[in-house]
Amino acid sequence: MNTNKFILAGIAGGVIFFFVGYLAYGVLLTNFSMAHAGPVKNVARDPDKILFLYLIIGNLLYGFLFAYIFSKAGIATVTKGAVTGAIIGFLISASYGLIEYSTSWLTSRTAVLVDAVAFAVISAIAGAVIAWIAGMGKKR
């Protein structure tokens, strides 16, 4: 993947992570997350207090992480991008969630599992887009 495709894929992936993440966590799983939090409550920021600059940067970094991995692994088809994205997303989320669960009171085991599955789905969608961009113009 050349530099221009890498940058485009990273940005596109970040945008997908942001918007699909909002749909998953901000809309579909909001009540579930509140119901399955650990014993420590009210740690999430109110919607009007979210620091969007850092949220955007974090999602862009996920996009660039996936673009970098896909570039090094030669992943340039939608199917391979989706499958690889789902696996990477599940492993990232499950590892972080299990460490958080074992060292804090912020989450529950159920929430860790649901988050890992949700992030795997989000990562599959972002991975498909990143790989599609990486494969643009390639002969198959």
User: How far is it, in rounded angstroms, from Cα 132 to Cα 76?
Assistant: 6
Asked if residue 140 belongs to a domain, the reply is: no
Contact status, residue 43 vs residue 104, Cβ threshold 8 Å: no
Into how many domains does the chain fold?
1
Q: What percent of the chain has pLDDT over 70?
A: 99
Task: Enter the DSSP assignment of 43.
Answer: -
In a domain, 116, yes or no: yes
**pLDDT tens-digit series, residues 29-75:** 999 988 888 888 778 888 899 999 999 999 999 999 999 999 999 99
Q: Is residue 57 part of a domain?
A: yes
Residue 7: inside a domain, yes or no? yes
| Domain-located, residue 108 | yes
Q: Which two tokens stand for residue 111?
A: 């929430």
CA atoms of 3 and 124, how far apart (whole Å) = 23
Determine the structural domain holding residue 125 and report its residue range: 3-135
Neighbours of 75 (CB within 10 A): 24
